[in-house]
Chain A
Amino acid sequence: MCLAIPARVVALVAPESALVDIGGVQKEVSLALVDDVAAGDYVIVHVGYALTKLDPGEAERTLRVFAEAGLGPQASP
């Protein structure tokens, strides 16, 4: 359930909205549920609202965990 996707904030639009971009498609979404969003941030968008900011550091870390898990028992943490 709950189809939501990560989108890049292109610009803030007063008072509580932002223009976001996914793969070249842009849409205006509400920022009513999040704080401290700036252009360049990534947010998770669901039904026209940003639900949360995406943490790029954690995203990188997660991808590394995937890669390490695939390497075999000696590489797993």
Chain B
Amino acid sequence: MSGVRSDYIRPVDFKHGRVDMSHGGGGRAMAQLIDELFLRAFDNDWLRQGNDGALLPASAGRMVVATDSHVVSPLFFAGGDIGCLAVHGTINDVAMMGAAPLWLAATFILEEGFPLADLKRIVESMAAAAREAGVPVVTGDTKVVERGKGDGVFITTTGFGAVRDGVHVSGDRIRPGDKALLSGTIGDHGVAIMSLRENLTFATTIESDTAALHGLVATMLDAVPGLRALRDPTRGGLATTLNEFARQSKCGIVIDERRIPVRREVAAACEFLGLDPLYVANEGKLVAIAAPEDADRLLAAMRAHPLGHGAAIVGEAIADPHHFVQMDTSFGGRRIVDWLAGEQLPRIC
């Protein structure tokens, strides 16, 4: 970034201004936007240094890196926005590796014409989420694409973390007999998003559950350092995460429908639209797999944490050469919970 003398330049118009191609051009306009928006919001020692990268201290432990792109539409929804979603999502990806998240990098692809007021709102939300989580955004990048080539804003966040000694969290460590735990209700985020999408509006009090889970994970690892696997059931929902675990570990998984917490309004909205909550996205929940002797202790630790107060043991891994995920229905029948064929859409039939 070049040195910009602020007394020569009119401040960025965040009320009525829009992103234009000069903001990505590498010149003064871009520097000014970065200075007045990004640096001001994220504000930390690394960014104040003014380099294109961040110098990080040597790490004593094994490092984890995770990256995620965020293209959610709508950009703003009950319970959050694309900004805090981007921060939580990558913090969670790092945490699901059993790591404590340390630093974030954030890149923005902005569409020409995108309102600066919205951009400011998003960036400030990201900054607040990062501050609250204790994970600074230490470096980043901005580009602008022509109108029509982007969906307003795309955000990519990359997170770095460190794994404490003795912790090996991975989907392929699951063994028959292990228990599956869920940290809380499913379907909240997906339903909150869908209720805003054009032509599917209904009035509900459902909010996205977007949250940073690293604090919960730390508590869980304190109680059970030998935790086998962790994953957050985002796109594709709980069903997809369990199928991924089954495939990775070459086990089968059986869950009990009665044990799976679903909020009343979420269940009702899914009825309206013909959706199955098992396949609806979550952004503030996790699935943990633990050895059977550790399950009760893990459950207690989760329930003691605010983000895990609704935790439940929902099933277990079994020996199964076909790696199926199955569910015991409240009916006493058993059914397959298969991979999703494409994104779940509402139906009339």
Q: Do chains A and B touch in the complex (CB under 8 A)?
A: yes
Q: Which residues of A contact B (CB under 8 A)?
A: 1-3, 5, 22-27, 45-47
Asked if B203 and A27 sit within 8 Å, CB to CB, the answer is yes
Asked if B349 and A1 sit within 8 Å, CB to CB, the answer is yes
Neighbour of B265 across the interface among A3, A24, A46, CB < 8 A: A24
Complex Cα distance, B237 from A21, in Å, reads 26
Q: Which residues of B contact A (CB under 8 A)?
A: 202-206, 264-265, 267-269, 271-272, 274, 347-349
Which residues of A sit under 8 angstroms from B348, Cβ to Cβ?
A: 2-3, 46-47
Which residues of A sit under 8 angstroms from B205, Cβ to Cβ?
A: 24
Which residues of B sit under 8 angstroms from A5, Cβ to Cβ?
A: 271-272
Asked if A27 and B202 sit within 8 Å, CB to CB, the answer is yes
Asked if A23 and B264 sit within 8 Å, CB to CB, the answer is yes
Asked if A24 and B204 sit within 8 Å, CB to CB, the answer is yes
A-B contact pairs, 8 of them (CB 8 A): A1-B349, A2-B348, A3-B274, A22-B272, A23-B271, A24-B204, A25-B203, A27-B203
Complex Cα distance, B267 from A1, in Å, reads 20
Complex Cα distance, B272 from A24, in Å, reads 12
Asked if A23 and B265 sit within 8 Å, CB to CB, the answer is yes
Asked if A26 and B271 sit within 8 Å, CB to CB, the answer is no
Given contacts A5-B272, A23-B268, A47-B348, 11 further A-B contacts (CB under 8 A): A2-B349, A3-B348, A3-B349, A22-B271, A23-B265, A24-B268, A25-B204, A25-B268, A26-B203, A27-B202, A45-B272
Give the 9 A-B residue pairs with the shortest CB-CB distance, closest first.
Answer: A23-B268, A27-B202, A1-B349, A24-B265, A25-B268, A22-B268, A26-B203, A3-B274, A25-B204
